[in-house]
Structure 1
Amino acid sequence: MKTVTTTVDIDATPEDVWATLTDFDAYPEWNPFVTAIEGTVAEGERLSVRIDPPEGRGMGFEPRVTAADPGERLEWVGKLGVRGLFDGRHEFRLEPLDDGGTRLHHRESFSGLLVGLLLNEADIRAGFEAMNEALKTRVESAAPSPAGNGDDTDPVAA
């Protein structure tokens, strides 16, 4: 088994991060790695996902949602062909921070007979990091600062 894990701190509440993370219709507007998702965010549901790694080949797959805990965790499991050849468990976990922000834990664990041949960890890591930064930018530009440190200047009075 191989696992790729990344994290990013986002200056927004877990609920704000969750809202953007699960707004699949908007993914083409901001997400450079997971460029499309269709389906319902609910345990047991099947999704249609398209990924485009920065330096790799794009691919589509249809994972099943295994966890959908609002504001906490979204997870799905997919496979290439039959189970046991190349399987992936993808997880987004949202950790609330003391300052009101959120730490996103973005990981995928790969298993199966073809992992050694097909997995390019560098491409996956680069894709995760690009998505993390794009998510951070998207959420922070839309949400007020959770710590209340935003610009309180009245634009009318300025």
Structure 2
Amino acid sequence: MNIPLAAASVAAILVAAAFALAPRQEVVTEVGIDATPAQVWALLGDPGSYRDWNPFIVSMEGELAEGKTLVNRLRPETGNEIAFKPVVLKVEPARELRWLGRLFLPRVLDGEHYFILDERQGGTHLIHGERFHGVLLWFIDAKRFGADFERMNAALKARVEAGQSSPERSGDAQ
């Protein structure tokens, strides 16, 4: 038997098994915003505005349209600024936004990031989270991003409630 070939076959099987059995984690945050989903969407659905209000996703370039690729720059509270290029999965104005970010290859570290806006008593209940899947989750805890999501939620809430998300109210906030 050819030992190098057998070792390579075993290694390939182990790598395939690792990717197939890659762990999953989800981070979910929620916030109530005293504004309509349309008012929240006016800011959340405007990629060019992120640099003005968002402490976590400090810039977003691209079109929010299904199948399009964005260029997002993240500034986590702990760690270095990073750029990634997620693909937009779903855009329902004033309802839902989803994209899939991927580190290198599928299942190394995939993240389906989402925002769900639900109208409640004249305001908006925002669910902001991400479903992670990949072999890197054996080495990192995705829950660490929860604090960054919370910072983003607080900034979005403050900006929208100050009336700076809708053009007709922007002069009223001064």
Task: Tell me the C-alpha RMSD between the 2 structures.
Answer: 1.4
Contact in 1 for aligned 2:28/2:146 (Cα 8 Å) = yes
What residue is the counterpart of 1:93 in the other structure? Answer: 116
Which of 77, 89, 93 is the aligned partner of 1:66? 89
TM-score by length of 1: 0.86
Alpha-carbon distance in 2 for matches of 1:137, 1:76: 24
Contact in 2 for aligned 1:12/1:143 (Cα 8 Å) = no
The one-character-per-residue Cα deviations of 1:95-122 (angstroms, maximum 9, x if unpaired) are 110x210011000010011122244422
In structure 1, give the amino acid aligned to 2:135: L
The structure that is helix-richer by fraction is 2
Which of 127, 143, 154 is the aligned partner of 1:121? 143
In structure 2, give the amino acid aligned to 1:92: F
- Is 2:149 the counterpart of 1:133? no
TM-score by length of 2: 0.78
Larger Rg: 2
Percent of counterpart pairs with the same letter?
A: 42
Contact in 1 for aligned 2:45/2:93 (Cα 8 Å) = no
Alpha-carbon distance in 2 for matches of 1:38, 1:116: 31
SS at structure 2 position matched to 1:91: strand
Unaligned runs of 5+ residues in structure 2 are 1-23, 166-174
Alpha-carbon distance in 1 for matches of 2:86, 2:137: 17
Aligned residue pairs, count: 142
What residue is the counterpart of 2:63 in the other structure? Answer: 40
- Is 2:52 the counterpart of 1:26? no
What residue is the counterpart of 2:130 in the other structure? Answer: 108
What residue is the counterpart of 1:53 in the other structure? Answer: 76
Unaligned runs of 5+ residues in structure 1 are 145-158
SS at structure 1 position matched to 2:162: helix
How far did 1:8 drift?
0.3
Contact in 1 for aligned 2:117/2:125 (Cα 8 Å) = yes
What residue is the counterpart of 1:77 in the other structure? Answer: 100
How far did 1:28 drift?
1.2
What residue is the counterpart of 1:10 in the other structure? Answer: 33
> 59-68 or 110-119, which moves further after superposition?
110-119
How far did 1:27 drift?
1.1
How far did 1:84 drift?
1.3
